Structure 1
Amino acid sequence: MIGVMGAGAFGTALAISLAGNGPVTLWARDKSHVAEMRATRDNARRLPGATLPVSLRVTAELGDLQHATTVLLAVPMQKLRTILAEHGAALAGKTLVACCKGVELDTQQGPVQVISEMVPEAMPAILTGPGFAHDIARGLPTAMTLACADALAGSALQDTLSTANLRLYRTTDTVGAELGGALKNVIAIACGAVMGAGLGESARAALMTRGYAEMQRMAQALGARPETLSGLSGFGDLALTCTSEQSRNTRLGHSIGRGEDFDPTVTVEGAATAHAVQIRARSMQIDMPITDVVCGLTKGQLRVEQAMDRLLSRPLKEEKC
């Protein structure tokens, strides 16, 4: 049996897709939310219109995951450590697959690192790449990256988590997979701000390209393989996230560009990640100008016009990573 912790849109979509292979248990902390999903067979709060199949069990009891050998952690990055601290004993010995994208603000660690630290008896992995929840839940074709440092465990996990519509490519480069998924959210905020401010698609293309160069610089400095960033978890996710308003990071950027308030109840991983990455980059003396302006934008310290002026006034240079 497979378990999924977190009944947000992405966790629910993965549970629906995986339930096509066999029994899946979806855990949510909120008992009233669980009662609603059981009664309606729909997650109207997070993924309306996606029917929960009969092979998908919804629960608020963590004990119902005791027989699951693989558990997907579809929880916000900034809450991952707290959830593992609370439930780590029950998850020991299992394969834990992070399904969140980000860098922890306090420690500058990625999700695989947090799992390894908090539940050392578990086998950590990460599922990341270009996949929107609504597409996965509707059975639309999606390809993503599955990263596990243990090659044999990763191969077995690839077979377990692949479905009729979800094609997984595996890698042992967990660092590259973590950073690709995290850093593209930062660039997506910048791209959304540009579009929200009406600065045009040419400006967005420039930010995507130079943002990809930032992603490569940071990832390679931390030991990631270049080909990982060129794959689904890096370039693929960047292309999807920066060009679609289905992305919460892009929508936040749009709101910033338009000078509008953004719903504070919506989790936007890229905002906290930008600040965590800025701290890490400065300590390692890595040049991350787009990340710097995203920090300024999300803190309200810069307007979009000021951010663009700062980027455009940088010294002219040869195009290199």
Structure 2
Amino acid sequence: MADGVLSFPLTSFRADGTLDADGFRAHVAAQIATGPGALFPACGTGEFFSLDEDEYRRVVTIAVEEAAGRLPVVAGTGYGWAQAARFARIAEDAGADALLVLPHYLTAAPQDGLVAQVEHLAARTRLPLIAYQRGQVALTAAAFRRIAALDTVIGLKDGHSDLDRLQRLTLAAPEDFLFFNGAATAEIQARAYAAIGVPAYSSAVHAFAPEIANAFFTALRGGDDGTVDKLLRDFYVPLVELRDRVPGYAVSLVKAAARLRGRPVGPVRAPLTDPAPADLAALKSLLTTGLDLVGASL
């Protein structure tokens, strides 16, 4: 998975809020065509939190069908362990290769509870698990060792960007354990994560501008600091500043940018909201700049 940008496809909805299965299939096919390292349907960018079980089944099934064994499909699951296990069974039946275990719902929990959450899920699915620490989930080294010792737990995605804590976890990990940079707009911190041994990262930008995401990935891996700096300065940092204006823009802006490029992804579902007109105009200008930097067009 570290050999290419990780794709987190958007879930397509129609104007009335219903699932657009055909639109999602077209979007996933286009994502796969750009050569990502893996496909992560029905995760945060894919609005897992807004899908019912039937919609989730269709989304994961379509992703598996389009991937056709060419790359791993890692489906999202979450809420409490009982509900996460229900989604896990659906993902198993649909043919997913693994699961990304999203943070549990609402409440803070002690370290023993965070471990038990993963233990309960691991006991109820055959699929490999990648734990995701973000929000109310922040593992100590001791708790991480217990989770990493489970036979089917193969990785950890980090969204806290606490590199001191994360370095302690990487040093405590079994051999060949997978780590992923899951920071919002992960490219901003990709160098720092790579410096402590975490080169793989998810890219929301890949969902609407794979040309930019792949150009950044190639420059980063090739040591082309000039290109990395230019893309960060002129595209990624302004994107983060725009994203931070409104809660939920981490998903809403991504979907809006995909629509600007004619992708059939539709609107976001509540409680998210689509960007305001002024923010949409700023996004279009920024997207044009980013594409120009890599020799592509809107």
Tell whether the structures are fold-level matches, with TM greater than 0.5.
Answer: no
Higher relative contact order (CA 8 A, sep 6+): 2
Structure number with larger C-alpha Rg: 1
TM-score of the superposition, structure 1-length normalised?
A: 0.29
TM-score of the superposition, structure 2-length normalised?
A: 0.30
